[in-house]
Amino acid sequence: MAEPTRSIVSFDSGNLVDRLVRAAERLGLGPVDEREIEHLVRVVTRCSALLEDVYTNDRLQAILVEDPRRLTRLITAPWLPPPEPGGLPPTLARLRRLPGQAREVGDQALFDLAISGRDAVRGISLEALGPRAYRLAADLLELLAADARLREHFRGSRTGGQPARVEDEVDFLRRCSDRFNLYARVLRVAGETDDTAEDRSRPTVLVPARTGALPAPVETVAEPGGPGPVGDDVEPAPEQQPLVAGGPVFGNGAGEDEQRLIAAYERLLLFASLDLEAIRAELEAIVVDQQEAVGTLLDDFSLFAVGTQHLSRPASYFLIGPTGVGKNYLVETLCRIFERHWGISVPLLTIEGPNYTYPSDINELRGATRGFIRSDEPGLLSEFHKEAVQAPLSVILVDEVEKAHPQLRKFFLSILDRGTTTDAQGQELDFSGSLIFFTSNIGYGDRRPDQKPIGFGGEEAATAAYSSELTQALKRTLSPEFINRVKLVRFRHLPRESAARIVMLEFEKIAARYRRLHGIELTLTEAGREALLDEGYSLEYGARHIASVLHRTCNVEIGKMLRRDEGGRSRDPRPLLDLVRDYRAGQRPLEIEELERRIVDEARARVPYRRIVVDAEGGVIVYRTEED
């Protein structure tokens, strides 16, 4: 069948608007408001004169890929070449263009589907591509404008000559996604000529007239020192009118390092992708009975999601509480949660405060001064910086900082204030993209947690008195310069009931390993739990020793029992060792799943029972086995 011919209809602005309104009425599709008509006019006028191919591989991949981190990747994977030298920084210019570039794909898909007679591009259905492009544009714009201070930098479609609110622009782009097929039908009907039925049966191409209230896109010539002219009623191309107006969205932009900006944008998108309430619930279930501490951190992290954290200053926290209540555990758990949700590595450096008791110990962090022994070796922070600078987020944990020499806290002042420090080789180390945690039990070691204040008063009075004493202890130990640069996160004493929950959490970790490796179920009775609590918990030291007690009684002892009950079964590791060595030498392709299966099977205990019950008699842990 021969391809039908297309009629070419020339129109002015009134002609086009009238056609669109009449088309919507003829289709009976419900109200099509003024904003939607303006959108359809924009699609026809811009796309009919557009010469470049908007369906580039990069754009199509960004729109179609099913990747939870795709928004983050767009920051570091430019769709267009950077602007000419002397203009905006390439990262900033690219960031400003991203929502507009996604919208262009949606506009072109709508134009081609309704007017050009195409239904696919490179094998991709335009009916699927267009809505997803509009949705991506809305998601990008919403993320980049999440900070209230940034909303003024964005310019969306104009109504009555006034810039629309960003929220309105996001909502409209999502409406464009939802009503994509409706708009296509309106454009098709609007393109039909009104002369005869035969004419209306033919596909049409709308071509804007060169006169009228809707001028064709203006060809601009850049003048020295400024952009070229732009028609009053036509939105300029993205190169002339980025979606974000003004300077960089973080800081003042003067001298900002481009890689620092990229990392900051990536952090914003990563945190914006998190369900902070779900993470709050997860942390509260793992870090037992520390809702206040978890809430303080999660509330602060919400600022990362909207970009209001200072770009050049790391977020710094002072975790204070009695020993054994989960301060370090909270930080380590956060890193694991971030890595799981984002699919990236979050570098973590732990600095033990008691190891820095002399001023000269600081050289371990920054490196020895030139001329001294080992001055050619990099410091601990210099080595960590190489890893941290490659990640959008890193974590530094300084444990028991009050036990270190005051020089350690002075050393960190410049990092807390400016985000940078200088090592012994004169290299600037940038930790502006780090979370810095200090832990301490200042004020908790000099007083029993069950000690009551002298005088009358209820629980509230006791809590207030205790809080006041802790504050005074902090002021006696730490300098005002240090205290003013960190956010205080308080941890509470763990009662015995909370420690009982920790026992069950730690026990389940051990049980899961035995279940996976040996197919053996471990069960802990109530009597066994109480015996483990008696040995591992105290009100003064919290749950610090619980993990070590469970490791000894429920891991080491059960492991020894399995080996003993195997009846001296010998294993010949040579076949598997030869296989592992072949993999290491590259002599055969690595099949990691098969290798793991064989190793687990070889290591699996051959015992006549499938269940071990951990119980207690007279306060002593005992073990019973069951076949099923």
Examine residue 473 and state whether it is found in any structural domain, yes or no.
no
| Res 159 pLDDT > 70 | no
Same domain, yes or no, for 489 and 508?
no
Examine residue 508 and state whether it is found in any structural domain, yes or no.
yes
| Res 86 pLDDT > 60 | no
What percent of the chain is predicted at pLDDT more than 70?
71
Same domain, yes or no, for 485 and 542?
no
Same domain, yes or no, for 299 and 357?
yes
Same domain, yes or no, for 432 and 529?
no
Secondary structure (3-state) at 614: strand
Examine residue 216 and state whether it is found in any structural domain, yes or no.
no
In this structure, what CATH number is given to the domain that contains residue 310?
3.40.50.300
The C-alpha angle 507, 547, 473, rounded to 5 degrees, equals 135
Same domain, yes or no, for 508 and 484?
no
3-state helix, strand, coil in the chain (%, to 5): 50, 10, 35
Residue range of the domain that includes 533: 497-566+605-626
Please give the residue that has the higher pLDDT: either 30 or 539: 539
The pLDDT of residue 446: 57
Same domain, yes or no, for 310 and 179?
no
The pLDDT of residue 129: 92
Q: What is the dihedral of CA 493, 494, 495, 501, to 10 degrees?
A: 170
Distance CA(91)–CA(78), nearest Å, equals: 8
Write out pLDDT tens, residues 162-221.
445 777 888 899 999 999 999 998 888 887 755 444 444 444 444 444 333 333 333 333
Please give the residue that has the higher pLDDT: either 346 or 11: 346
Same domain, yes or no, for 288 and 144?
no
Same domain, yes or no, for 47 and 112?
yes
The pLDDT of residue 85: 55
The stretch 464-469 carries a mean pLDDT of 65
Hey, which of 43-47, 298-302, 410-414 has the most confident mean pLDDT? 410-414
For residue 91, what pLDDT band results from cuts at 50, 70 and 90? low
Same domain, yes or no, for 483 and 507?
no
The stretch 233-240 carries a mean pLDDT of 33
The pLDDT of residue 229: 32
Query: What backbone torsions phi and psi does residue 251 show, to the nearest 5 degrees?
Result: 60, -160
Q: Are strands 611-617 and 620-626 parallel, antiparallel or unpaired?
A: antiparallel
Examine residue 587 and state whether it is found in any structural domain, yes or no.
no
The residue among 601, 615, 599 whose CA lies nearest residue 519 is: 601
In this prediction the pTM is 0.61
List the single range of 2-16, 28-42, 372-386 with lowest mean pLDDT: 2-16
Q: Which of 469, 493, 517 is the last residue of a domain?
A: 493
Give me the chain's average pLDDT, please.
Answer: 76
- Domain tally, the chain: 3
Write out pLDDT tens, residues 311-358.
667 899 999 988 888 899 999 999 999 999 998 899 999 999 999 998
Same domain, yes or no, for 183 and 49?
yes
For residue 538, what pLDDT band results from cuts at 50, 70 and 90? confident
Examine residue 594 and state whether it is found in any structural domain, yes or no.
no
In this structure, what CATH number is given to the domain that contains residue 537?
1.10.8.60
Write out pLDDT tens, residues 43-78.
888 786 565 678 888 788 888 877 666 666 666 555
Same domain, yes or no, for 55 and 144?
yes
Distance CA(208)–CA(234), nearest Å, equals: 13
Q: Which of 493, 520, 536 is the last residue of a domain?
A: 493
Distance CA(152)–CA(163), nearest Å, equals: 9
List the single range of 78-87, 185-194, 407-416, 506-515 with lowest mean pLDDT: 78-87
Examine residue 450 and state whether it is found in any structural domain, yes or no.
no
Examine residue 131 and state whether it is found in any structural domain, yes or no.
yes
| Res 454 pLDDT > 70 | no
The pLDDT of residue 313: 79
Examine residue 615 and state whether it is found in any structural domain, yes or no.
yes
Same domain, yes or no, for 506 and 417?
no
The stretch 453-478 carries a mean pLDDT of 64
